[in-house]
Amino acid sequence: MSGQWRMAGDLIMDVSIDETSPRQGMRAEWSRIAAIVWKDLTMERRAKANFNSVAFLAALILLMFAFAIGPDAETLRTAAGGVIWLTVLFSGVLSFNRAYEQELEGGSLDMLVLYPGDRRAIYVGKLIANLTFLLLVEVILLVVAGVLYDLPLLGIALPLSLVVFLGTVGFVALGTFYAAMASRLRAREVLLPLLLFPMLIPLLIASVEATNDLLSGSAMGNVGGWMRLLLVFDVIFVAASVMAFEYVIED
Amino acid sequence: MDAATAKTVGDIIGLAGLVLLVPVGWAATRRRMLAPLGVFVFLFVVASQATGLLISPPERGMGDLQKIMYVHVPSAWAFMIAFFIVFVASILYLWRRQVHHDRLAAAAAEAGAVLTALALAQGMIWGKPTWGVWWTPDPRIAFTTVVLMIFAGYIALRAFTDDEDRRARWSAAVGIVGALNVPVVYMSVRWWRTLHQPQSTPSTVDPAYIIGLRLNAFAFLFLLLFLVALRYRAMMADRKADAILEDRALKEDVAHV
Amino acid sequence: MTSGLDLRGIAHRFGRRWVLRGIDARIEPGQVIALTGRNGSGKTTLLRICGTLLRPSRGTGTVFGIDLVKEPGSVRELVGMLAHDAGLYGNLTARENLEFSLRMAGRTPDATAIAGALERVGLKREASDRVSGFSAGMRRRLALARLLLRPPALLLLDEPYASFDVDGIDLVNGFTAGIARAGGIVLVATHDLPRVRPVMDRELRIEGGRFVQAGLEASEPDRFVGAVEEDAGR
């Protein structure tokens, strides 16, 4: 087949088809997960606008709540646990869709699901990236809340960060899962909280109760109970989302 | 009626209901039996409600208000069963990828949402004279509210997803995750507010109420099965019509854009 | 590699509209196939089905003996795609995009191979620049470099000549011919038949959701059917 239409031979590239099988097993999956985490966080770091605006919005919501609740310092302190967690929920829900939108923009989601290997790595990678992002927002948020609501944060720093961590893991696990669907639908801004928030009510109750118990310094026994509930919630929903993700990302 | 007789009658009703579940369940799976089943369920619900209202004495504290229990409690049981159907059908769908499992889950979610809304409305009507407020974070009312919202999310997701295959997969995933959350929600709200009354199950209620509750529990179970069957049939008929249109479109050689 | 790409009765619908109505084809290893057809004729859909990005509504196929519907995970190891959107990350540099791609494919990034691929597509100097500043053509070149690093057995090109200059077109065709010579299969969906003619073996034209008049040799010199058909199809 070398008619006059054929390409000049020297332009044909020397290609050998890649038949090496990809690395397999848990370690290979973890390196894929690490690649996604690195990619998402690097992009986040370079597009500083995202983090800054979410963190600023969180601080703003805290301030608005302070005005809404009223000038009494004691009332503010009692409401602090609920306010902090609602602020976390609102700032989180803003960032989850974005994690997929950046994949949808340039058609990179197609490329992402086209790679051989376990697609659950995509979920776990995005989960870790979102978790890191939100934990950093929460550091700022807690400091601002400490100032605005006059909270004794330093004394309870360790148990409080444990509560915040446990609460955030469950939140991000479900948020990353639902956003994989919502980000690809019309009305995604409304749909994500609509699907997500009812699911988070046990988490909200446990986190707020534990935070309030810590802030008021009373009945330390309860905090352990709520943290166990958070742990159970985290285990159930990280596991369930990891298993169900394959079906959500399929096309 | 003394407590012993009431208990015996209650046991008989329980047994009879379980036996009756067999033909009702069978009828729910047969297209031709749908209309007779509807008539039967309607009569059964009316009769059970009437029995509940007529034979039970007014409750000491709440008076006739208590009788709302005959709708509230059975519909709460029924929506739990509906959620269980969603859970099982969703798992079956993801496993076998057969359209009818998807439609069964959707039908159960819709019927479940109706019963949940009913349970919640009754709870609120009961709550107003009892606690002086329409809504209060009482464990059962809070639980019912959250379950209603989870059902609503499931239905909303289906409404917003156009592609049939994708809708089936996504809603199955959401159905499973949502159903897993039901016991967690239940535990957490109970733990949160344990200061209210214990649940009204037959074991903690005056024996005179057992008969009405048992009867209505089965009435609402049958109602649920009928509603699920009805919606399931409707959706499968839709699917069938679509399939015929799809086939026809496939056979036509000219592409209609 | 005995059997290449086998498509059996592939049909796909979006809603109630059947885009593909029964695609049958048997493509031997080492062939370059031009997929042609009007806008909306289902070229991209067929490519996406071959790449397991879509599950066909009906029918199935095998890629080098592996079933598209039953074992999509194994098919993905053989497939490479140049889609309409390049699928790159704007906030990463060219080199980082390639490294990420290799890591995701379960390979260890090799700096010399990456530098080589970038040089090949003419992006050596832009290796450390962020992709957000790239032109459409540069993005396509980078997407091509990604394929060069992991030459697939089944290469799917969707309008590969768009936004490429003459050099770029030679690159695409050179790579395409190379894959075919190495025993792979290339499907090129394009409106631009003259561009693909130097490397193609067969044209498969999709009309009304099916292949029409398949199997003409590219080497027939007097064949300008592409243009003629385009008119006849209307």
pLDDT at B38: 93
Q: Does the pLDDT of residue A220 top 60, yes or no?
A: no
A187 at interface of B, judged by CB pairs closer than 8 A: yes
d(CA B139, CA B188): 9
pLDDT at B138: 77
pLDDT at B214: 87
Handedness of CA B135, B138, B142, B143 (dihedral sign): negative
Collapsing DSSP states into helix, strand and coil, what is residue B115?
helix
d(CA A87, CA C136): 40
Q: What is the mean pLDDT of residues B227-244?
A: 93
Q: What is the mean pLDDT of residues A64-89?
A: 93
Q: What is the mean pLDDT of residues A146-173?
A: 94
Nearest residue in chain A measured CA to CA from B90 = A244
Q: What is the pLDDT of residues C183-208, one digit of tens each?
A: 999 999 998 888 999 899 999 999 88
Average pLDDT, chain A: 89
d(CA B242, CA B238): 6
Collapsing DSSP states into helix, strand and coil, what is residue C114?
helix
- For C206, phi then psi, to 5°, come to -95, 125
Q: What is the mean pLDDT of residues A3-27?
A: 73
- Best mutation target among A190, A199, A235 (most B Cβ atoms within 10 Å) is A199
pLDDT at B241: 92
Q: Residue B87 in contact with residue B95, Cβ under 8 Å?
A: no
Q: What is the pLDDT of residues B89-140, one digit of tens each?
A: 999 999 999 999 999 999 999 999 999 999 999 888 888 887 788 887 778 8
Q: Does the pLDDT of residue A17 top 70, yes or no?
A: yes
Q: Does the pLDDT of residue B196 top 50, yes or no?
A: no
**Other CB atoms closer than 10 Å to residue B129's CB: what's the count?**
11
**Worst-scoring range by mean pLDDT, A170-184, C63-77, C209-223?**
C209-223
Q: What is the pLDDT of residues C143-185, one digit of tens each?
A: 999 999 999 999 999 999 988 888 899 999 999 999 999 999 9
Instruction: Work out the pLDDT band at A45, boundaries 50, 70, 90.
Output: very high
d(CA B90, CA B169): 8
Q: Which residue has the tokens 């609602």?
A: A86
Give DSSP secondary structure letters for A77-103: HHHHHHHHHHHHHHHHHHHHHHHHHHH
Would the CB atoms of C218 and A1 count as touching at under 8 Å?
yes
Q: Does the pLDDT of residue B194 top 70, yes or no?
A: no
* Segment 93-112 of chain B within 8 Å of chain A by CB: 94
Collapsing DSSP states into helix, strand and coil, what is residue C82?
strand
Between C223 and C206, name the one with better pLDDT: C206
Q: Does the pLDDT of residue A142 top 50, yes or no?
A: yes
Handedness of CA C105, C107, C110, C116 (dihedral sign): negative
Instruction: Work out the pLDDT band at B61, boundaries 50, 70, 90.
Output: low
Q: What is the pLDDT of residues C42-78, one digit of tens each?
A: 999 999 999 999 999 899 999 999 999 999 989 999 9
Return the structure tokens found at B10. 């209650």
Instruction: Work out the pLDDT band at C226, boundaries 50, 70, 90.
Output: very low
d(CA B190, CA A202): 10
C110: amino acid identity, one letter: D
**Chain A: partners with 3+ C-beta pairs within 8 Å:** B, C
Complex-level ipTM beyond the 0.90 threshold: no
Would the CB atoms of C86 and A106 count as touching at under 8 Å?
yes
d(CA C84, CA C159): 7
How close does chain C come to A8, measured CA to CA in Å? 8
Q: What is the mean pLDDT of residues A58-75?
A: 92
Q: Which residue has the tokens 């057809």?
A: C37
Q: Does the pLDDT of residue B37 top 90, yes or no?
A: yes
Q: Does the pLDDT of residue B198 top 80, yes or no?
A: no
Percent of chain A with pLDDT over 70: 94
pLDDT at C222: 38
Q: Residue C72 in contact with residue C21, Cβ under 8 Å?
A: no
pLDDT at A54: 93
pLDDT at B229: 95
- For C107, phi then psi, to 5°, come to -110, 160
Cα angle for residues B121, B25, B19 (degrees, 5° grid): 100
How close does chain B come to C21, measured CA to CA in Å? 6
Record the pTM: 0.89
Instruction: Work out the pLDDT band at A179, boundaries 50, 70, 90.
Output: very high
pLDDT at B164: 87
Instruction: Work out the pLDDT band at B62, boundaries 50, 70, 90.
Output: low
Cα angle for residues C13, C17, C23 (degrees, 5° grid): 50
Contacts of A97 (CB under 8 A, 6+ apart): A179, A182, A183, A188, A189, A192
Q: Which chain A residues are within 8 Å of C51, Cβ to Cβ?
A: 114
- In chain A, which residue ranges form alpha helices assigned H by DSSP? 26-46, 49-69, 73-105, 108-114, 120-148, 157-182, 188-199, 201-216, 220-249
Return the structure tokens found at B149. 């919202």
Would the CB atoms of C96 and A42 count as touching at under 8 Å?
yes
Smallest Cβ–Cβ distance between C208 and the set B162, B165, B255 belongs to B255
How close does chain B come to C78, measured CA to CA in Å? 25
A39: amino acid identity, one letter: K
Contacts of A43 (CB under 8 A, 6+ apart): A102, C89, C91, C92
Return the structure tokens found at A58. 């969180």
Would the CB atoms of C76 and A6 count as touching at under 8 Å?
no
Q: Are strands C79-82 and C154-158 parallel, antiparallel or unpaired?
A: parallel
Most confident of A218-227, C39-48, C223-232: C39-48
Nearest residue in chain B measured CA to CA from C41 = B255
Would the CB atoms of B181 and A202 count as touching at under 8 Å?
yes
Q: What is the mean pLDDT of residues B76-84?
A: 92
d(CA B133, CA C129): 63
pLDDT at C163: 85
- Best mutation target among B145, B151, B160, B176 (most A Cβ atoms within 10 Å) is B160
Q: Does the pLDDT of residue C228 top 50, yes or no?
A: no
Return the structure tokens found at B116. 């949940």
